[in-house]
Structure 1
Amino acid sequence: RFTGYLRDLTGLKDMESELRRSRDELEAILEAVADSVTARGPNGDLIYANPAALAAAGSGSIEELQAAPPEELLADLEVVDEDGVPLPPGQLPHMRVLAGDDEAQAIIGYRHRDKGETWVSARSRAIRDEDGRLHMALTVSEDITARQREERNLRNVADTLQASVLPEDLPVIPGVEMSVAFTPRGDEYHDVGGDYYDAFELDDERWLVTVGDVCGKGAEAAAVTSLCRYSIRALSLRHDDPAGLLGQLNEVLLRHCADGRFATAALARLRPHADTIALSLALGGHPCPLVLRADGQTESVGANGTLLGVVNDRVVAHNAKISLGRGDALVFYTDGVSEARDHHARMFDLQHYLAGCRGWDAEQIACGIQEAAIAHQGGKPSDDVALLVLRVPEEPLLQRRFAAVAESVPLARHALDELIHRFPRLDWDALRLVVGELVTNSIVHGTPRRTEQWFELVTQRQPGCLRFAVTDAAPPFIARRHEAAPEAESGRGIFLVDSLADRWGTARHGRACIWFERDLR
């Protein structure tokens, strides 16, 4: 006797056939896609790579790629992020998905020792089963090398244009601290800013400083910005009255700017004296500068005047007389500072911030305002940020100039002795050691870069600390800490400064200057 049953498998066979056909169609599509497509299992093993991915990896088959050791694939290869910073393996999109993210993406650069750079935009996504367990990490990578090169070229052009409208360096004005800070809006690489600043000598006793803003962005604005800056320099050869200069600049813009672009400008002629600066200030539609007095009081100075390049009539600009004494500072800025808004549309309170800068030097004030205004906007400025700060330093506690010779090193160290009785709790042995290192660096490294063979040691009291600075006649430089090899006989100076000082840095403008601070605990 035979017992059994029959089952119709036609539907199941049809389903298997449909799945096979769908898989074949999907594979055919992925093989024709120009982007690289890879899939990795939950353990990270490669389970699929389309022809584009194989070609990018230099492999002939997925079996060859699967068999290649990871260290062989990464040999002679540096992986970097969009900013060119080395990218840890764990930050690759597929690794982040394998670690638990549902989706991850990144711009990745592959720097080959012999093949140059390749850039991809990689996006990985988690494919999960019905229970939410990771089935695979699917990654699609688009080759964007050509686009990255084009953006880099645009960035280089923009940087070159931006540099052309700003001075390479600022003059050294005796008895005056001067510092600038500038950040372009930079939403796009072609967005060259319209803000500018400049400072130059009129004669042996007088200087002219200017800060301005041209409406618009890009190459056209850069051209007008250059026109303003170089016209002021040329016109000042015949006429150094600030209000008169603004009137002449207005005529230049009306003649040469047919597209209706206008500008604002602040001009100040200054003459330093023993303990003060006398200024004559005129404004053409520009925000009024702010004065920070030594006692912490702030005030707005000057009158806005009329915009430049708008009306044919005589520009309304008046010369305001200003005097700065010891510890006073004058802050010029553009509307990228005064009109900076947060996500609630609240404007940055520049005058309130400036009141807290009492005792700061010009560079600290400029950089502090710049950072605060950008932070107020969430770290991304909506307009150019430009600042120029003039300041009369306080009477120094110590100021000595020495010949740039080895015999001056012990003389500079022992010059600090006259301060010991005023600040007996400081570690003067450590301070002498740091000063000796800075003086030695100035003599050894600064001498080939300067024509005047001297250095100056200055000690000033600042809020809560003493600042020691060594200045020489060489151009500004940037000092960086690095650790010398154990067998090296030199190269430990900055490491020592960093270890013994509470803060240290270098001046960005004027002469070469490296400084350090010790807190008055």
Structure 2
Amino acid sequence: MPASVPAPSPGAAVHGQSPTGPEREAARREAARLEAVRRYDILDTPPDGAFDRVAALASRLFDVPVATVAIVDSDRIWFKAASGLDGVRQIGRDPGLCASAILRDGTTVIPDTLADPVACSNPLVAGAMGVRFYAAAPITTPDGHRLGTVNILDTRPRVISDDDMATLADLAAIVLGEMELRLSALRAVRAEQDRRRAEQAARTRAERDKAALAEFASTLQRTLLPPALPTVPGLELACHYQTASPQDVGGDFYDVFPLSDERWAFFLGDVCGKGAEAAVVTSLTRYTLRAAAQHHDDPRAVLSALNAALLLDASIGSRFCTCLFGFLEPAAGAGFDVTVASGGHPPAYHVRTRPGGAVRVDPVHLRGGMLVGAFEEAAFASRTVHLEPGQGLLLYTDGLTEARLADGTMLGESGVADFLSRRTGPTEATALVEDAVALLRDLPQDSGDDVALLALSVPPHDAGGPGVSVSAHTSARATDDAGAAGRKD
């Protein structure tokens, strides 16, 4: 049977002499081995059931009182698992049975430790434990480094067969497999941490770059919602915004802004998610839509520009949004022509009063409009709606349609249309928004999501005709007990 080999002190000089060539090579190998031990990050980790089962299995298979899974450090033998060594976590390396065993490629077997010149002085042999038999199989990495051993110890001399040694080697291979799985998991966690740090760095760079843009872009980045709606001659505007939670930054957005003396643009949408990351997307979305509206006459082209910007910005990740974007122009006769494009957003509602006072509600369906920022070749749909005096247009985010009724079902698009058709109030923008806010307030459950509303209406002829200029801006937060919106004129 093979015997143990004394563990060298790699690289040590004797009586001040320089290390010899073999000593330098031994020191180099030991340094590489210790680097491999550190790579697996196994030392001083908590007990692990997988390694404990290997030690227990070795004890049962070989009918020995002690079995261990040991890692050889620079100055100690550390037990990742031990069966029969209660309370012992580590022992000194020199002199050490494991330290000798890792110098061999194959299994080390000492049938009688008292007959072995090195093992006989080991504390486990000479001490109270009285170990008389020792066998160990090295835990060897794919690149040839022996990290430690799987050991079996007995208090009486004994002999084991070649099959037994092969079984012990298999147990050592199982230990290495568990260590490889653990290392793979650690690498995955570290890679995820590195990825998040890289994303944060990219987000920081993106914010720094955006800050160097024109002053209005910088202002839009700091403000997710416009402080007030503009005054559009001959048109009434109203809006409402409330967040689902005062602790979260909402992902809904809207805006109305002039392009010329007789042309305006508007948009309303919803970013996937909430919080700081959604705020970054919202900021970029508002800036891009404002900038693209200056260069495109087709609202579909504006949404295409936003789609490209979201896909190119590294700070956005996999976030996307839905959006309605449109242009407003005074019609030749009376009222306004509204050309609107959809990027996967719920339809707006065209509200008008029929003769006799009945209300007609028509959804402005735009079939084929895809999510913005999700697909490189996204297609968008557009449509022109004519708003005559006394007619209105209501845009909303899915916080309205996903509000829950008493039976727990969602209000849905059909529920919104039904609510609008049953209204008895006027079709002015302010009334549309206030009634929708009242609907949300009266529902038995919170919407659970942010809600943004934007309404446009043309005042009736008897309200002052095309010269009337009215703008209302309402806002609310989830912390408002009544849920009602304050009004600014």
TM-score by length of 1: 0.45
- Report 1 or 2 for greater relative contact order, CA contacts < 8 Å, sequence distance ≥ 6: 2
> TM-score under structure 2 normalisation?
0.48
